[in-house]
Amino acid sequence: MKTVIFFDGVCNLCNGIVQWLIERDHQDSLRFAPLQSDLGRRVLDDTGSADLDSIIVIRNNQRYVKSDAVLVIAEELGRPHQSLSLLKWLPRQVRDVGYDFVANNRKRIFGERESCMMPTPDLKQKFLNVK
């Protein structure tokens, strides 16, 4: 079963991170979907949230958000990135302060797009709900 990462599809930082993850996903364990997609909106509805400022990761039918999601992604990438998982010893509230700072300022610093990126044909299989 693949780990699915839901991200803000119009955020330049988020799109850059997705491209970075694709290059490092040597086990082909990650799939991606914009939160603005039909599937992403359903996931947001299931959580009772409309928060596009949070990444959502689903792995083994478990849902992770904010810093927990980042740590799950680091684990999926393997070495050396999985060493970030040591941060899980910090209380989530402490980790999420740093996450929220970046999330709340990312569009102001990195900008945003008019619409979600469209993957190239060779990357299309990595994206869910892409027509």
Q: Which two tokens stand for residue 89?
A: 């010893």
CATH assignment of the domain containing 58: 3.40.30
pLDDT of residue 8: 87
Tell me if 109 is assigned to some domain.
yes
> Considering the domain boundaries, does residue 98 fall inside one?
yes
Residue 130 domain flag: no
Domain contains 30: yes
State how many domains the chain has: 1
The answer to whether residue 124 is domain-embedded is: no
Q: Residue 52 has what pLDDT?
A: 62
Q: In this model, does residue 115 exceed pLDDT 80? A: no
Tens-place pLDDT, residues 15-68: 889 999 999 998 899 999 998 888 888 887 776 665 666 789 999 999 999 999
What pLDDT is attached to residue 38? 84
> What is the residue whose two structure tokens read 């102001």?
108
Residue-number span of the structural domain to which 84 is assigned? 3-114
122: in domain: no
Query: Does any domain span residue 71?
Result: yes
Residue 131 has pLDDT above 60, yes or no: no
The average confidence (pLDDT) of the chain is: 84
**Percentage of the chain modeled with pLDDT above 70:** 88
**Distance of alpha carbon 73 from alpha carbon 29, whole angstroms:** 10
Contacts of 106 (CB under 8 A, 6+ apart): 11, 13, 14
Residue 90 counted as domain residue: yes
Model confidence at 77: pLDDT above 70 = yes
Q: Does 14 score more than 60 pLDDT?
A: yes
